[in-house]
Amino acid sequence: MLVVMKETASEAEIQAVVTKLETVPSLHGQRIDGQDLVVVAAVGDTAAVEGLGLEQLGGVDRVVAISKPYKLASSEIGQQKPLHIAGRQVGGGTFTIIAGPCTVESRQQTLETAAAVKAGGADMLRGGAYKPRTSPFAFRGLGEEGLQILQEARQQTGLPIVTELVDIKNVDLVSEFADVIQIGARNMQNYALLEVAGKSGIPVLLKRGLSSTLNELLQAADYILKEGNENVMLCERGIRTFDTAMRFTLDLGSVPWLKSQTHLPVIVDPSHAAGERRYVTPLSRAAAAVGADGIIVEVHQDPSQAVCDAAQQLYAADFADFAQQIRAVAEIIQPSSPQSIS
């Protein structure tokens, strides 16, 4: 922590800050006399600084945090390391394609789509049994029936299942059926849900909130990691900005940034940002090119009949071609981390 004094701060005010810091045994105040102003560095157990109310002392302009706020998700603790989920590797040079319908609507729709994405080379199957909806009057998923359909799809295709958990009271049920629990963007800071997902021991795909900073995303991951659940994938799915040309602004720059800060794999969801099918392919190619460890993409055997997100779901019939295009890009990216690129 650095306490930046105002240019007009008096000597007594500067001294008061140093004295205040010295009241805490684990802290030490180091003074830096600049040309225009003075900065006092709080050295030691900087967590203790927060309770001191330094911003309120006379002559103090602001207090600047220097250390990173996330702990367990930091690449300075671990190194980049792949996860192993239901026998499949995520990260570490592989490119994972998770595909399937937005929502489990029926047995037939799900099984047909699952078969198509399996045939097209997908690594996992996505599908929502519980859907968070902006309006309470919209369709909210088949619930347990949906989970059972997903289980049948797994039996038929061998694909691990990625499905969303929206309510802590369903955690046991969802854990029984899911290979990966998805935490949606709206729930990224629903800490009760994060802890329950952490405790479940099931791998977690954590989506970035639509106005969450990357720091906050890593701190949300800390909530899961601290429960001893190390299998966390981060997911960039578009942020909310002033521009409405697309549904959301896909922040592809987040991928190399995250890769430089955390050991966790980073997945990109191109479908929700695109909003329209024709933008999904170029955004997926870009996700592969920017260095993501995979994508999670919506596919439907007949999008024109889809209950939600109809416009952005790929046709199952086109999936194999799509997957081939994306893998072609992923394959020419060198496996070196962005850090090593000069």
Using rule CB under 8 A, residue 242 touches its own copies: yes
Q: How many chain residues interact with its own copies (CB under 8 A)?
A: 116
Using rule CB under 8 A, residue 71 touches its own copies: yes
Query: Among 10, 19, 23, 30, which residue sits at the site for its own copies (rule: CB under 8 A)?
Result: 30
DSSP codes joined into one string, 260-316: HHBSS-EEE-HHHHH-SHHHHHHHHHHHHHHT-SEEEEEEES-GGG-SS-GGGPEEG
Task: State which residue, 200 or 281, has the beta carbon closest to its own copies.
Answer: 281
Using rule CB under 8 A, residue 33 touches its own copies: yes
| Residues recorded for the chain | 342
Shortest distance, position 281 Cβ to its own copies, whole Å: 5
* Residues between 289 and 308 that touch its own copies (CB under 8 A): 289-291, 303-308
* Residues between 142 and 181 that touch its own copies (CB under 8 A): 166-169
Shortest distance, position 249 Cβ to its own copies, whole Å: 5
Check if the beta carbon of residue 104 is closer than 8 Å to that of residue 127: yes
Query: Among 23, 43, 84, 172, which residue sits at the site for its own copies (rule: CB under 8 A)?
Result: 43
* Residues between 84 and 113 that touch its own copies (CB under 8 A): none
Using rule CB under 8 A, residue 79 touches its own copies: no
Cα torsion at 321, 247, 262, 326 (round to 10°)?
Answer: 10
Using rule CB under 8 A, residue 14 touches its own copies: no
Among left, alpha and beta (phi > 0; psi -120 to 50; other), residue 119 is alpha
CA distances, 63 to each of 4, 31, 42, 219, 265 (Å): 6, 14, 10, 21, 33
For residue 125, the SS3 value is: strand
* Residues between 189 and 218 that touch its own copies (CB under 8 A): 189-193, 195, 209-211, 213-216
Query: Cα-flanking dihedrals φ and ψ of residue 206, to 5°?
Result: -105, 115
Query: Among 58, 69, 92, 93, which residue sits at the site for its own copies (rule: CB under 8 A)?
Result: 69
Check if the beta carbon of residue 109 is closer than 8 Å to that of residue 301: yes
Task: Candidates 80-88, 106-114, 116-124, 268-276: pick the segment binding its own copies (CB under 8 A).
Answer: 268-276
Using rule CB under 8 A, residue 320 touches its own copies: no
Query: Among 46, 80, 148, 151, which residue sits at the site for its own copies (rule: CB under 8 A)?
Result: 46
Query: Cα-flanking dihedrals φ and ψ of residue 315, to 5°?
Result: -75, 130
Task: State which residue, 151 or 325, has the beta carbon closest to its own copies.
Answer: 325
Could you list the beta-strand ranges (E) of 147-207. Answer: 161-164, 180-183, 204-207
Task: State which residue, 119 or 328, has the beta carbon closest to its own copies.
Answer: 328
